[in-house]
Amino acid sequence: MKSRSNQDWVWALTEQPGEAQSEALQDLHDFLLRVVLVYLSQHRSELSSWSREDIRGLAEDLAQEALLEIRENLSRFKGESKFTTWAYRFVINRAASELRRRHYRNLSLDQLREEEPVIFQALLLEQGTIEPEQLAERRTYFNLLHEIIENELNERQRAAIVGVYVLGRPMDEMAAALDLTRNALYKLLHDARKRIKARLHAQHLTEGDILAAFED
């Protein structure tokens, strides 16, 4: 790769299409590709079943995406570090995000659907020693909530509610599992809770009634 100062990099990448720009783009692409290949080789657990060719293909995609992002953000480069150090962060952030997404995709909707009955039963068993009347009340509310979640919510709403509020999964993990942004997940949860509240109100119940039954 040709040695360039920060100013040389910015000038070449912002020049009109020509030899200087083409050479700079190729050098930057090759640099990003080397960086991300090293990074992926150090985080192979998520890619253990991948062939060398597949990993190379992923690295090429990440390098190209990072290259486009760098060009879009050139005006933000202030020269406070080496240009390649600044550019390095773009491809590493993209690679880390992609590996997280692939890791959390293992939390499938089918898996949550299979675990739902077991989850709700386990929550009841965790209540410890309580009076039979209180246990019966809690069981009634658990069954009602499970029925509402099962019948009133769509697949993604159900997965989000169970994942976040029952299993306690982190928001970022559930967003990745459902292939949503964090804001989209908030909206999904809001809509799901609204439907649950409406069904509870139809039964002349509130969230407070449910919570009160589980106070020791």
DSSP string for residues in the chain:
-----HHHHHHHHHSPSSHHHHHHHHHHHHHHHHHHHHHHHT-GGGGTT--HHHHHHHHHHHHHHHHHHHHHTGGG--SSS-HHHHHHHHHHHHHHHHHHHHHHTTS-HHHHHHHHHHHHHHHHHTT-S--HHHHHHHHHHHHHHHHHHHHHS-HHHHHHHIIIIIS---HHHHHHHTT--HHHHHHHHHHHHHHHHHHHHHTT--HHHHHHTT--
pLDDT of 25 above 90: yes
Domain boundaries, the chain: 6-104, 109-212
**204/108: higher pLDDT:** 204
Question: How far is Cα of residue 50 from the mean position of the Cα atoms in its chain?
Answer: 21
> Quick one: average pLDDT of 18-29?
92
Q: Domain 6-104, CATH 1.10.1740 — does that match? A: yes
| Percent of the chain surpassing pLDDT 90 | 29
Q: Which tens digits make up the pLDDT trace of 64-92?
A: 999 999 999 998 898 888 999 999 999 99
- From the number of C-beta atoms within 10 Å of its C-beta (0-12, 13-18, 19+), residue 59 rates as buried
One-letter identity of residue 125:
L
**What pLDDT was estimated at residue 115?**
52
> How many whole angstroms from its chain centre is CA 213?
34
pTM: 0.51
Taking only the tens place, the pLDDT of each residue in 97-120 is: 777 766 555 444 455 555 555 445
Looking at the structure, give the CATH architecture of the domain made up of residues 109-212: Orthogonal Bundle (1.10)
